[in-house]
Amino acid sequence: MSWLEVLVLGLVQGLTEFLPISSSAHLRITSEVFFGRDAGAAFTAVTQLGTEAAVLVYFARDIGRLVAVWLRGFRDASVRTTPDYRLAWLVIVGTIPIGVLGVLFETQIQTVARNLWLIATTLVVFGLLLGLAERVGRQHRPLEQMTVGQGVALGFAQAMALIPGVSRSGGTITVGLFLGFRRAAAVRYSFLLAIPAVVASGLFQLPDVFAGDGPSGPQMAVATLLAFLVGYAAIAWLLRYVERHTVYVFVWYRVALGLVLFLALGAGWIAAG
């Protein structure tokens, strides 16, 4: 893997991880169009460690408070009724679906799920679902009103992002809006929910990323650092954006990208893989 490829993909990962447009789809498309190959699911998983490190830094105070309250709950019954204690458990419960499905379908995720025909389809279909959720969602519920059932539902929404093109944040935001949560609340929960799953996935696939003609250790470190720096800026921007704007711009972008990808595949300009 060349240094140019590593730098481009690290930048793409940082720019797209938190937006509801699917970073894994963008890495797959960018790899195929500009470098004529698939960088692989392991590369995606490991560079996501950089973007999740950005989440840990950006939400360090919130995460520290949730962890402290969760630990106190084992010996202090008075904190078990607090919103922070419930939210900590909701993040844990919501992580279970992606953990189970990721293990069960690991082979399919790394092979057939990376076919560009499938990615083009998921970009369009889940983009339209995001637009529908924005249109019909009542957006009146704060994060504190989330139930266990809703947390599990959002966990399954996150698990759908195991298929490139769905988008981790896009899936959780879509379901969150359908359930009536405020746009900013759905985005915030999607960030917190991703931490355990992404960190575990990245560490689990770390040995695989260096197999074959993959990147070297220094290249992987630079790509992950670049993803962290750009991802941190993307978090701050997205949280401000959704407070004041709809998500339709992401819907239009997803649909347009999916249709262009269909055209390129149909014309034989790129291989589906």
Which whole number is the average pLDDT over 137-148? 91
The predicted structure's pLDDT at residue 94: 92
Q: DSSP per residue over 187-248, as a string?
A: HHHHHHHHHHHHHHHHHHTHHHHTSTT---HHHHHHHHHHHHHHHHHHHHHHHHHHHHS-SH
Q: What local confidence, expressed as pLDDT, does residue 259 receive?
A: 98
Mean pLDDT confidence for 245-268: 97
Q: Is the pLDDT of residue 137 over 80?
A: yes
CA 252/CA 127 separation, integer angstroms: 8
Amino acid at 11: L
Weakest mean pLDDT among 87-91, 99-103, 133-137: 99-103
Could you tell me if residue 271 is inside a domain? no
Question: For the chain, what is the domain count?
Answer: 1
Mean pLDDT on 46-64: 89
**What is the percent of the chain where pLDDT is above 70?**
97
- Extract the tokens encoding 145: 């009103």
Q: With a cut of 70, say whether residue 188 has pLDDT above it.
A: yes
The region of weakest confidence among 9-18, 59-68, 150-159, 205-214 is: 205-214
Residue 273 lies in a domain: no
In a domain, 248, yes or no: yes
Query: What is residue 42's predicted lDDT score, i.e. its pLDDT?
Result: 72
Among 70-84, 129-143, 206-220, where is mean pLDDT lowest?
206-220
- Report whether 155 contacts 94 (CB < 8 A): yes
**Which has more confidence, 217 or 71?**
71
Please name which of 35, 31, 33 lies closest in space to residue 43, comparing C-alpha atoms: 31
Q: Does the structure show a pLDDT above 80 at 71?
A: yes
Q: What is the mean pLDDT of residues 248-255?
A: 98
**pLDDT tens profile 205-227:** 777 666 666 678 888 889 899 99
Domain assignment present for 51: yes
pLDDT band (50, 70, 90) for residue 174: very high
**Across all residues in the chain, what is the average pLDDT?**
91
Half-sphere exposure of 66 (CA within 13 A, CB side): 20
Whether 207 maps to a domain, the answer reads yes
Instruction: Decide if 120 is inside a domain.
Output: yes
Task: Give pLDDT, residue 132.
Answer: 97
| Residue the block writes with tokens 């963008």 | 26
Q: What is the pTM of this model?
A: 0.90
In a domain, 272, yes or no: no
pLDDT value at residue 196:
87
Q: Is 208 among the domain residues? A: yes
Residue 7's pLDDT is: 92
Task: Tell me which residue range forms the domain holding 97.
Answer: 3-266
What's the CA gap between 159 and 94, in Å, rounded? 9
The top-scoring range by mean pLDDT among 160-164, 211-215, 237-241, 251-255 is 251-255
